[in-house]
A and B are shown apart, each in its own frame.
Chain A
Amino acid sequence: MTSLPKKTQKKLGLVTDLDICVGCHACAVSCKEWNASGHSAPLTDSDAYGKDPSGVWFNRVHVYETDDGHNTRTVNFPRSCLHCEQPACVTVCPTGASYKREEDGIVLVDAEKCIGCKLCSWACPYGAREYDADDGIMKKCTLCIDRIYNENLEESERQPACVIACPARARHFGDLGDPESDISRLVEQRGGYALMPETGYQPVNKYLPPRPRKDRAGDTGTTDHLEAAEDSSSGSSFFSWLDKALSR
């Protein structure tokens, strides 16, 4: 059914810290590695070693530059499915292949039902869905559904592959529907935000903004103004005369 559940018991999702993401693409590569043999496998590549490679990825890392007129900043920005509360990618699906789970809010595609009409990818403003031309069906982030509930894995490993792979600990996984969860607290403390809120899709995933930069004297606790050191050459002393004489 492509009608949405009125309420989901949990809102599982990711929080990405843009302040500490180093843009190493480990999340994207690790995601590709796990999911290439996971729930939505394979994530087909074409011309992988040729001149024009393309393929299905659930995670894409952009790099942006911001410019406030004085300073520029580089912000690394991983982009993946936000498991929205109002995902139009689900409601536009004509077959019922796309669905949002009532128990945890994860948005998935049923590979047996998808006809590959691509309309869901048109309905997603976040570019979360990528079509697999080989399989003829749409694919998307599963929030590593085959990891997070997988009892064959150590409990510490029951997290999405991207979260585990991140060497900077910029990615966090948890229940964003529970205000007491660690991840919700993190969002609260750091002013986490949703992307393109004007779409009304209500993304579950949140992003933590880059922290304000300490780029002025004073920001770091030092005095914000330093007096210029006295210029010894300006006096009419003997040494000044000597300096001039020797500089000739």
Chain B
Amino acid sequence: MDPAYSVILFTSASGAGYGLIAWLAFTRLSGFWQLSPLAAGITCLVALALITTGLLSSTFHLGHPERAWRAMSQWRSSWLSREGIFAILTYPAALIFTAGWFWSIIPASIMNAAAAATLLLSVITVISTGMIYASLTTIPRWNNAWVVPVYVALAIASGGLLFSIALAVSGAANQPTMVLMMAVLLVSWAVKWAYWRYIDRQSPASTTATATGLGHLGQVSQLEAPHTSENYLLKEMGFEVARKHATKLRRMALNFGLLLPGILLVLAGVSNGLVQLALLALALCFGLGGVVIERWLFFAEARHAVTLFYGRSL
């Protein structure tokens, strides 16, 4: 599949944004960390800004952005439609519970209810994003049980790296917290590793023989393509990345996404003040870089059933 930059930006930015707002809502509900109202307010705005960036970037890749509102209408059957609805619903919930930090007129019960709703909606939104891909039977590398966990785990992990900065600003980025963030990072990349292991071993049922139904005549190969230059189908769905590059990029994603931020989190755990903040900022940059590489590969490695008609394999 064509790794369109708009979609890569959308899923990584909005994933991190929903992860961040989920951490903030969790903090509000659990009281694990004490955040200053200012830190909470800025955290909420950063999260919503990331989500908005993602949504806008996905809107710009549409043929008719001005009709984007129509995408909310088919929630009965379409995961894309559901994603849009949940994405929008998260905004008011997030704003209400964050406002509670500033205005004491908002009763704690409402604030907590809004925080719980935000937590739930942000996770459901990311699940919906994953389901858009996981529900496509045409792409075996997406149509499996690992895709949704990967999206959720990486959203929580990249949101966690952002949240660590908010904690550091509030002086709450203590050692156990850094260990927790590292554990979250480790688990999420373990899920991604399991996904890679899975797609490397799967053997899809569809072949050029089943696509054309000519298998009973022997080996089927394409003798002549229907067109002499590339068409939409091949540009959009025929993108392929060489296996050796994919292996290299997977290693890069793990180094940027897990190894470097992991080391920096350890160092941040034993430092404080501006040094800690700088270390966490660096961890965030590497971590997001890792997710972007991972997301690029998610598209580039995916093979679409239509390419079978062009004599390729899944």
Task: Pick the contact of B223: A63, A135, A193 (CB < 8 A).
Answer: A63
- Of B13-21, B45-53, B130-138, B271-279, the one contacting chain A is B130-138
Considering only residues 33-75 of chain B, those with a C-beta below 8 Å from chain A are 61-65, 67-68, 70-74
- Of A116-124, A153-161, A176-184, A220-228, the one contacting chain B is A116-124
A66 touches B218 (CB 8 A): yes
Considering only residues 64-103 of chain B, those with a C-beta below 8 Å from chain A are 64-65, 67-68, 70-74, 76-81, 84
Considering only residues 184-232 of chain A, those with a C-beta below 8 Å from chain B are 193-200, 207, 209-210
Chain A 5-42, CB-CB to B under 8 Å as 1, else 0, gives 00000000000001000000000100000000000000
Q: CA of A191 to CA of B71 in the docked complex: distance in angstroms? A: 42
Known: A63-B223, A121-B237, A122-B237. Is A73-B139 also a contact (CB below 8 A)? no
B217 touches A66 (CB 8 A): yes
B211 touches A133 (CB 8 A): no
Q: Does B224 contact A (CB under 8 A)?
A: yes
CB nearest neighbor in A for B79: A92
B64 touches A54 (CB 8 A): no
Task: Pick the contact of B206: A119, A131, A198 (CB < 8 A).
Answer: A198
Residues of B close to A117: CB separation below 8 A:
61-63, 71, 80
Q: Does B222 contact A (CB under 8 A)?
A: yes
Chain A 53-80, CB-CB to B under 8 Å as 1, else 0, gives 1111100111111111100111101010
Task: Pick the contact of B309: A53, A62, A88, A209 (CB < 8 A).
Answer: A62
Residues of A close to B61: CB separation below 8 A:
117
Q: Chain A's nearest CB lies how many Å from the CB of B145?
A: 18
B219 touches A67 (CB 8 A): yes
Residues of A close to B212: CB separation below 8 A:
62, 64, 75, 77, 195
Q: Chain B's nearest CB lies how many Å from the CB of A42?
A: 15
B231 touches A57 (CB 8 A): yes
A136 touches B63 (CB 8 A): yes
Interface centre among B223, B229, B311 (most CB of A within 10 A): B223
Q: Does A162 contact B (CB under 8 A)?
A: no
Considering only residues 87-145 of chain A, those with a C-beta below 8 Å from chain B are 88, 90-97, 113-119, 121-127, 130-133, 135-138
Residues of B close to A135: CB separation below 8 A:
63
Chain B 227-245, CB-CB to A under 8 Å as 1, else 0, gives 1011111001100000000
Task: Pick the contact of A199: B132, B223, B305 (CB < 8 A).
Answer: B305
Q: CA of A66 to CA of B71 in the docked complex: distance in angstroms? A: 44
CB nearest neighbor in B for A60: B226
Q: Does A3 contact B (CB under 8 A)?
A: yes
A79 touches B309 (CB 8 A): yes
Q: Does A151 contact B (CB under 8 A)?
A: no
Residues of B close to A200: CB separation below 8 A:
137
Known: A73-B217, A115-B68, A133-B63. Is A65-B223 also a contact (CB below 8 A)? yes
Q: CA of A33 to CA of B94 in the docked complex: distance in angstroms? A: 53
A75 touches B214 (CB 8 A): yes
A62 touches B225 (CB 8 A): yes
CB nearest neighbor in A for B78: A94
A125 touches B206 (CB 8 A): yes
Q: Does A1 contact B (CB under 8 A)?
A: yes
Q: CA of A64 to CA of B210 in the docked complex: distance in angstroms? A: 13
Q: Does B216 contact A (CB under 8 A)?
A: yes
Known: A53-B229, A54-B230. Is A118-B236 also a contact (CB below 8 A)? yes
Binding site for B on A (CB under 8 A): 1-4, 18, 28, 52-57, 60-69, 72-75, 77, 79, 88, 90-97, 113-119, 121-127, 130-133, 135-138, 193-200, 207, 209-210
Binding site for A on B (CB under 8 A): 1, 61-65, 67-68, 70-74, 76-81, 84, 132, 135-139, 205-206, 208, 210-214, 216-227, 229-233, 236-237, 304-306, 308-311
Contacts A131-B63, A209-B214 given; 11 further ones with Cβ under 8 A? A68-B218, A94-B71, A94-B72, A95-B71, A96-B73, A114-B64, A115-B62, A116-B62, A121-B236, A131-B236, A210-B217
